[in-house]
Structure 1
């Protein structure tokens, strides 16, 4: 029975962020089809922030009508919406229409909003439900939550999305000479399976999560429910999370923060950590800055930093960065370093990688080492290191504040949301209104050598 519950808890956690993670890793293929092109990631960051309306509504319902809204009902609803949205996305993701005089991917944006709504709302409903089970199953749930980013990333690698090559083509010149003019054009290789199949795969994962939830919800409440195995009430009150929409409403930050909390939830709360006012200010600064960078600033320009090196570089950066997040969370569960000096140094290091990525985006379409294998390797490793280092910082900051007090974790969630919002709102006009970042054609862009 224990093994079965562990498997169900893990499968249930898969449905937490699998849809949004799947969209990010599929972007290297989607950006070549939809009219927004390289600007598409900046739209996604704003849509995901707007989807935090879901957790806000759930929180207001719990505040205004205590006990009237049941987590089970909300979970059934959002998982069903998630399955339907993934299926609709498979059929309508490339449908466009003219809005304000320009062609836009309205169907993709609308369905993406509902997928983001599902995933954001899962953060304030899945965990409170899991708190009904013994504490050891919480960690298994977080493993499943981490896999919600890992599995789509592996699937995208297997799919080989957006791989392209440069092909010579000729066309007849002017009427006077009649000579053939040779030029290069980008030819995208067909993926191993289509975008539609990938979205159906996401729908299948959501179905697996729903089936696991149904099974967990029907388990007899008599199994293993001895008082010594239950999560302490104090910890449960933290994870109810419904007093604080901000603490649980951010995508990648929540995933990692949850990983750190999972270990803490297997034991009683530690006595409040002793930090000075300046140390607390530094900790919350880390929370704001890390989430500003990872959830707003850099994702908005990932296409501009990677696509000049070719679709393969973008494909690997998107997929491996998605894998790096749960890996960093897992490492933080077993190798914890709460030193503020260490976390500060790690933040500076991660910011350095992010600065390189931002600089390459600003130099698009002619970044450093353009057209070389060295440039491709560096940009992929830089994105991988950026995601991994700052994900570890998210976990450890969450653990520190989690062990301090409930209110500290509440403010951590608020800082997380503020950082994410500031990052996405800052980048959207820079990318889509002022167009400070320039796109280019990998095959036809002529760039001077930059080393």
Structure 2
């Protein structure tokens, strides 16, 4: 029965971000088709965060009217919206309209908004629902959440999305005929419509898994006994006993007296500092991974070629479930360790941002080494910060229901600040420059 619950928890996690993650790994193909071009990711990051009011409503309702909003009803609703939106994406993703005198991907933007409503709201509904299960299934849920990026990446790799070659093109101007080199994009192995059909199927699987978890009462056996009371004592316990042994249901105390001591008399200030650090960590990690860097990924990778962009988008998605799997077996709750890992991941993110700022002529452009470094940098950036997100989620799970709700809120606040910071820099001030892989000449 445990294996079945693990499977259902993982499948349920697929619906958390599969639509938006799938849209992201498909960008190397659609970015060359839609009128926004290289600016398309910055538009999508902002649209995704416009779903913040939905998350805010759920969070405030939990805070001020506890018990009035049933998580399972909200989850049924948002998963159904996700299925419908993915189906509409199949037929309307490339439809454009004229807005303010320019062609824009209006249909894609509207559908992306509803998809982001699904995914953003999942941050404050899916995890609290999972808290009803024993703690060992939370890590499995995170694996499913990671697979929501990994599986679309695998399908995109099989699709051969966005590969290109440089070809000579003759041009005639008056009586003069000249030649130039332009980029010709090769057709994928299967269409974008087929890819979006896959996303719709994943949403259906997530909805079915949630229905099974909700309707099978044995899935919740011993769940009440595995929950830790939502008190300051349990918070301090989970932080201060980072090296304690675990046994399925969560951290066990190394001494009975430690769990019974009052942390208010032992170090209230330390507890406050720890909590502040944790939520700032959540906000920053999500600002970087969901807002700041995704908005400029095209500028960071496209100068090295469409293959580098494709691999960085796909393999970075692989890093997420890999980090979740590592976190399942090798847990380190030390806040010092998580802080150092965040700093390292931020370093790789800073390199990616620097290459985007130097576009269309970043370091080592035109060389295999440059392509390898930028792909690895994106891989390590996502992988390290994904591990941090998982471990913070595990820590906050032991603190109770409201901690997980505010974990989701901090996630979305960070993402919102990151995306709205980058949008004017990319689309208004034009600080990042695009170029053509085949025709752009860069100094040696």
TM (norm. structure 1) is 0.84
Q: Which residue in 1 is equivalent to 2:380?
A: 385
Aligned partner of 2:213 in structure 1 is 216
Partner of 1:347: 342
Which residue is 2:250 aligned to? 267
8 A Cα contact 1:264 1:399, kept in partner: no
On the 8 A contact 2:312/2:378 being kept in 1, the answer is yes
Hey, what's the Cα distance between the residues in 2 that align with 1:362 and 1:79?
A: 38
1:332 aligned residue: 327
- How far the C-alpha of 1:326 sits from its partner, in A, is 1.8
SS of equivalent to 1:15: helix
Structure 2, unpaired ranges of 5+: 233-245, 254-258
Residues 144, 321 of structure 2: 8 Å contact kept: no
1:306 to 277, 301, 306: 301
- How far apart in 1 are the matches of 2:281 and 2:125? 27
Q: Within 5 A, what are the aligned runs for 1:186-197? A: 186-197=183-194
Q: Distance in 1 between matches of 2:399 and 2:55?
A: 24
CA distance in 2 between counterparts of 1:75 and 1:14 reads 13
Alignment of structure 1 residues 21-420 onto 2, 5 Å: 21-62=21-62, 66-175=66-175, 178=176, 180-219=177-216, 221=217, 223=218, 226-227=221-222, 230-234=224-228, 266-267=249-250, 271=259, 275=270, 282-400=277-395, 403=398, 413-420=408-415
Q: Say if 1:42 and 1:232 are closer, same or farther in 2 by CA, change over 3 A.
A: same
8 Å CA contact 1:338–1:400 kept in 2: the answer is: yes
Q: Secondary structure at the match of 1:234?
A: coil
Conservation of the 8 A alpha-carbon contact between 2:157 and 2:314: yes
Deviation at 1:277, TM superposition (A): 5.8
Deviations 1:292-318 (Å, cap 9, x if unpaired)?
222221111000010111111100011
Cα pair 1:51 1:120 within 8 Å, conserved: yes
* Equivalent pair of 2:5/2:219 in contact (CA under 8 Å): no
SS in 2 for 1:17: helix
**Structure 1 gaps, min length 5:** 239-262
CA distance in 2, matches of 1:302, 1:91: 26
1:440 lines up with 2:435 in the alignment? yes
SS in structure 2 of the partner of residue 113 of structure 1: helix
Alpha-carbon distance between aligned partners in 1 of 2:10 and 2:394, rounded to the nearest angstrom: 21
Deviation at 1:84, TM superposition (A): 1.0
Question: How many angstroms apart in 1 are the aligned matches of 2:369 and 2:126?
Answer: 43
* Alpha-carbon shift at residue 211 of structure 1 (Å): 1.9
Go from structure 1 to structure 2 and tell me whether the alpha carbon gap of 1:123 and 1:287 turns closer, same or farther (over 3 Å shift).
Answer: closer
Give the secondary structure class of the aligned counterpart of 2:165: strand
Secondary structure at the counterpart of residue 34 of structure 1: coil
1-side partners of 2:60 and 2:336: how far apart? Answer: 38
CA distance in 1, matches of 2:309, 2:24: 11
1: distance between equivalents of 2:289 and 2:406? 19
Post-superposition offset of 1:369: 1.2
In 2, the alpha carbon distance for the partners of 1:443 and 1:367 equals 15
